[in-house]
Amino acid sequence: MPMPNPGAERLAVIAGQGDLPLRVAQTARHQGRDVTIFAITGQVDANFGDFDVVDVALGTIGDTRTRIQAAGCGDVVMVGKVKRPSLAQLRPDSHAVKLLARAVGKGDDALLRVIASFFEEVGINMVSADSLMPGQMMPKGLQAGALDPASKADIDCGRAVLAMLGDSDIGQGVVVQDQRVLAVEAAEGTDAMLARCASLIDAAATPAVFVKCAKHAQDRRLDIPVIGTDTLRAAKAAGIAIIACEAGGVLLSDAPSVLWQEAEQLGLAIIGV
């Protein structure tokens, strides 16, 4: 195990679902940083092994900040899927109520920025997952499989739709076939959206394309688009043949070589655009 780096701030990883929080924590440790995991109760499903783990409730932002300060963390990263609870389940503390009031009606991005400011006002820096894992961003160009020449128009269509929707803080993914939009990612998340559009895909038509991009002016510290092997399997199950991701804008939750190999085995094409 690498020795702690005295010049680096202890990192707090606020962890949701999936393996990405563990990968971020492991990467930070290999960089010589001390790490504490703040595991969101009812959301986390990874095994963090010998990392220091503190359980926190989703609505207790004030208590979470206090615990992060007590652990001596100067930097914090939020990573992993979070299933949105009902207000009854959320049980926000007084700080969370005030933050929700400041962002009401302004969308998820606005709420996340308010949360970032809440941490920063006591000197805790919000950092992005991609700043900790720069080698995990989607590269440009074809990475696996082969493209149908007719698919470029569908990729361009998907990117145009996402550019328009991003201004309204809606989704990061869209499925297109023959320049017809079959599904747009909303609150349900990528995998559920892919499953939802399966019955709409015409196996006899041009291969269906899944396009994923960051929203316009999205703050990467707070919410960054992610794909992984689970995404590939969900796309394959839905009948999608091509995945096009924004180069430099989408984080890979698995090692790139693992993703490309999985895509080849599934018969999928992956391209960074």
Q: Residue 184 pLDDT > 50, yes or no?
A: yes
Q: Which of 4-8, 145-149, 221-225 has the lowest mean pLDDT?
A: 4-8
Q: How confident is the model at residue 236 (pLDDT cuts 50, 70, 90)?
A: very high
147 and 103 belong to one structural domain: no
Residue 161, phi then psi, degrees to nearest 5: -65, -45
What is the pLDDT, as a whole number, of residue 5?
44
- Which CATH number goes with the domain that contains 266? 3.40.140.80
Query: Tell me, what's the pLDDT at 108?
Result: 66
Tally of domains in the chain: 2
Of 107, 127, 147, the residue at which a domain comes to its end is: 127
Classify residue 77: in a domain, yes or no.
Answer: yes
The neighbour count for residue 120, using CB atoms within 10 Å, is 12
- pLDDT band at residue 95 under the 50/70/90 scheme: confident
171, 123: one domain: no
What is the spatial distance between Cα 17 and Cα 42, in angstroms, rounded to a whole number? Answer: 9
The answer to whether residues 40 and 83 belong to one domain is: yes
Q: Cα-flanking dihedrals φ and ψ of residue 96, to 5°?
A: -65, -40
Is the CB of residue 236 less than 8 Å from the CB of residue 266? yes
Pair (113, 23) in one structural domain: yes
The pLDDT value recorded for residue 112 is 77
- pLDDT confidence of residue 6: 41
Average pLDDT for 146-169: 90
User: What is this structure's pTM?
Assistant: 0.85
CA torsion through residues 234, 136, 162, 81, sign: positive
Share of the chain above pLDDT 90, in %: 68
Confidence of residue 272 (pLDDT cuts 50, 70, 90): very high
Based on the fold, state whether residues 123 and 143 are members of the same structural domain. Answer: no
Letter string b/e over residues 211-222, b meaning 16 or more CB atoms within 10 A of that residue's CB? bbbbbeebebbb
Whether 4 is in a domain gets the answer: no
Q: Are residues 39 and 65 in the same domain?
A: yes
Residue spans of beta strands (DSSP E) within 51-202:
52-56, 73-79, 125-126, 141-144, 173-177, 180-184
Q: Determine the structural domain holding residue 203 and report its residue range.
A: 134-272
